[in-house]
Structure 1
């Protein structure tokens, strides 16, 4: 199971890094649920809102010729067929990292294939604090 997750996860990250929304949609469960904290406000959303968010983010990346800087902080097996990945995501434009990034707690489950089923996202974290998060790995 670990090998199949690793293959799936590498593919998932590659889709993210290349802003490939068409294929990324297939890695997210239709029952997906998420919570994002941004500016101290809580936003709960599901699959449709998530796809719109990815679309906006990928559009920004493409229009600004940006690159994703994704770093895995940790990976935790939650159950036999469930894995949580904690990762940071920052954007780099013209060689400069934006001043804030996001921390993602993403849960993937296996049911006839791996899918992203839940996320908790801390958005808008200052990059100096994001760097400290990587030091505690």
Structure 2
């Protein structure tokens, strides 16, 4: 699992960094479920809402010539065909990191055809920039 998941995660993060919605759609399960917490408010959503959110984010990045600052915090093997990646994401706009970041707990599952797909996410959005937390 380790090697195939690592290769998949590398691809997934590269697709995210390049804001490629077409490629990202293939990496997310149609049964995807997520929960996002922003300012204490909880929102649950699925695949279609997720794609709309990614599209808005990717358009913002392209329109503002911004860059994604993605950091791998931890990888956990949940079982033989599931892994969780804990990631932080923020944007660099005009050479400066935003003061907030999102923390993603993303669960990936290997399907019957040996392809990994994002199946679940728990997202803490708008937290103080994670870089400060990583140094402590």
Question: TM above 0.5, one fold?
Answer: yes
Aligned match for 1:118, one of 98, 117, 120: 120
Q: Distance in 2 between matches of 1:35 and 1:135?
A: 27
TM-score by length of 1: 0.95
Tell me what 2:76 maps to. Answer: 76
Q: How does 1:81-96 map to 2 (within 5 A)?
A: 81-96=81-96
Distance (whole Å) between structure 2 residues aligned to residue 122 and residue 11 of structure 1: 23
Instruction: For structure 1, list consecutive stretches of 5 or more residues without a partner in the other structure.
Output: none
Tell me the alpha carbon deviations over residues 30-62 of structure 1, each in whole angstroms, 9 at most, x when there is no partner.
000000001110000000000000000000000
Query: Following the alignment from structure 1 to structure 2, what is the Cα–Cα distance between the partners of residues 125 and 103?
Result: 8
- RMSD over aligned CA atoms reads 0.9
When normalised by structure 2's length, the TM-score is 0.96
Following the alignment from structure 1 to structure 2, what is the Cα–Cα distance between the partners of residues 9 and 131? 21
